[in-house]
Amino acid sequence: MQPLRVLIASTPVGPLGSGVGGGVELTLHSLVYGLSGLGHSVEVVAPAGSLHVGARVHQIEGALQASSQLADRRAPVELPADSALVAMWDRIAELQGDFDVVVNLAYDWLPLYLTRWLDVPVVHFISMGSLNDAMDAAIHDLARRHPDRLGAHTRAQAVTFDRTVDGVVETVPFRLLGSGVITDRYDVHVTADHGPDSPAHLGAVGRISPEKGLEDVAELSARSGWPVKVWGMMQDPAYWQRVCDRHPDAQLEYCGFLPTDDLQAALGRCTAVVMTPKWVEAFGNVAIEAMATGVPVITYDRGGPSEIVRDGETGFVVPPDDVGALVDAVGRIDRIDRIMCRQRVEEEYSTEALALRVDEWLRDVVAAADREPARRR
Ligand code: UDP
């Protein structure tokens, strides 16, 4: 089959490698690796200062966009003066004749709106659930114009965009794409070997921010006596301080933000990774990263992680906000076969598995756009 020329638009909240983009950075890396592996030629547009990702990166100067995780539902669309997001899409407009398709990873209104004005077909891999009315409206509007152009990680994420108009439920016809990791970069730990320097411990990974529910991890530690190592970008230091102050008996150790190779080595030493999201986590890359190292995941039955983890097979899925159920699950963790955790990632969440799903999506969109008259709106 004819290879495609694919341009990936990164998130404008931070350069690649900074961690500010959260899971989007890993998704982008996996897409570059997976799509290149299928023979496509891939380039990336990202904020200036981005690290190498295995493809040419067009580095774009400009003021970064604020993260939208904690934006108010009714907040209007905001753009800083000298916006990196605007400059990224100016560059994409200049480059569009050289590409068959653009894959947008930014959770922003502007690229959704611009889609109708660009000649190149643009698809949107939406990275979070519904958070903001202006974004929801832009997504539903695009779904009406181009039902094939929207992708999401999980069903749990997709249904957050359902809305009822005049008594009729409108859903967005997302392609469900999951996510993927470069499995070769993750060493499998077939037994729980916590290393010589620390006792057996649990892990919690992600941006240090209220939607990750670290207060429940702290309570789990205090009630069970298990030490927990925490890795992630320190997005909200005041929140971290509050968690530590409220749970003086918890044994939480903040271990900083690590590059992927170091993070996977550290993850492999955990007895289990715990996920206690307070929001509908769209996916939860850290679940597949942990599983890729053979480490089971204990998660609340909320959002993406609950679709990734198979209860009793690759970890445990417990009722949301139920810390007692977390404590109970940790007590049963040695029933989980660590090889099975890795195997599930190989089957469903390798970069190849992700790329094959995305490849099919892109080919459908490009073929449909080619059939459209004149302008590909
Ligand atoms: N991460 C990392 N180093 C760390 C902690 C986290 O690189 O020390 C990465 C991790 O690999 C994952 C991302 O941060 O890809 C968090 O993504 P996730 O989808 O779990 O949550 P998000 O931040 O997107 O809400």
Quick: pLDDT tens for 140-155: 999 999 999 999 999 9
For domain 5-180+350-370, the CATH class is alpha beta
Render pLDDT for 4-41 as a digit per residue (tens, 0 to 9).
999 999 999 999 999 899 999 999 999 999 999 999 99
For residue 25, give the ligand 1 atom closest to its CA. Answer: 15
The pLDDT score that the predictor gives to residue 375 is 53
Question: Burial level of 196, CB count in 10 A (0-12/13-18/19+)?
Answer: exposed
Residue 210 confidence (pLDDT): 95
Going from the C-alpha of 157 to that of each of 104, 165, 283, the distances in angstroms are 17, 20, 8
Asked whether 203 lines ligand 1 (CB < 6 A), one says no
Confidence (pLDDT) at 365: 98
Whether 377 shows a pLDDT value over 80: the answer reads no
Cβ–ligand 1 contact at 289 (below 6 Å): yes
Ligand 1 centroid to 257 CA: how many Å? 9
pLDDT of residue 193: 80
The predicted-structure confidence for 91-110, as pLDDT tens digits, reads as follows: 999 999 999 999 999 999 99
List b or e across 113-148, with b for residues whose CB sees 16 or more CB atoms inside 10 angstroms: ebbeebebbbbbbbbbbbbbebbbebbbebbeebeb
For residue 366, report the distance from its CA to the centre of ligand 1, in Å.
Answer: 31
Nearest CA to ligand 1 atom 15: 23
- Tell me, rounded to whole angstroms, the distance of Cα 373 from its chain centroid: 35
Round the average pLDDT of the chain to a whole number and report it. Answer: 96
205 CA from centroid of ligand 1 (Å)? 7
Q: Among all chains, which residue has been given the structure tokens 């892109």?
A: 362
Phi/psi region, residue 231 (left: phi>0; alpha: psi -120 to 50; beta: rest), is beta
pTM of the model: 0.94
pLDDT of residue 374: 60
The pLDDT value given to residue 376: 47
Topology match between the domains 5-180+350-370 and 184-348 = yes
pLDDT tens digit string along 164-198? 999 999 999 999 999 999 999 999 998 878 888 78
Chain centroid, CA 317 distance in Å: 19
- Distance between Cα 203 and ligand 1 center (Å): 13
Q: What is the pLDDT of residues 202-235, one digit of tens each?
A: 999 999 999 999 999 999 999 999 999 999 999 9
H or E segment at 134? helix 133-145
The residue-averaged pLDDT of 258-268 equals 95
Q: How many angstroms separate the first and last alpha carbons of the chain?
A: 25
Our answer on whether the CB atom of 22 is closer than 6 Å to any ligand 1 atom is yes
Query: In 3-state terms, the chain is what percent helix, strand and coil (to 5)?
Result: 40, 15, 45
Model confidence pLDDT, tens digit, residues 309-361:
999 999 999 999 999 999 999 999 999 999 999 999 999 999 999 999 999 99
Percent of the chain with pLDDT over 70: 99
Q: Please name the CATH architecture into which domain 184-348 falls.
A: 3-Layer(aba) Sandwich (3.40)
Q: Other CB atoms closer than 10 Å to residue 347's CB: what's the count?
A: 9
Q: Where are the domains of the chain?
A: 5-180+350-370, 184-348
Longest dimension (CA), the chain: 66
CA of 119 to the centre of ligand 1 (A): 34
Q: At residue 126, does pLDDT exceed 50?
A: yes
Bridge partner residues of 298 (DSSP): 274, 316
Q: Name the DSSP class of 367.
A: H
How far is residue 274's CA from residue 114's CA, in Å, rounded to a whole number?
Answer: 39
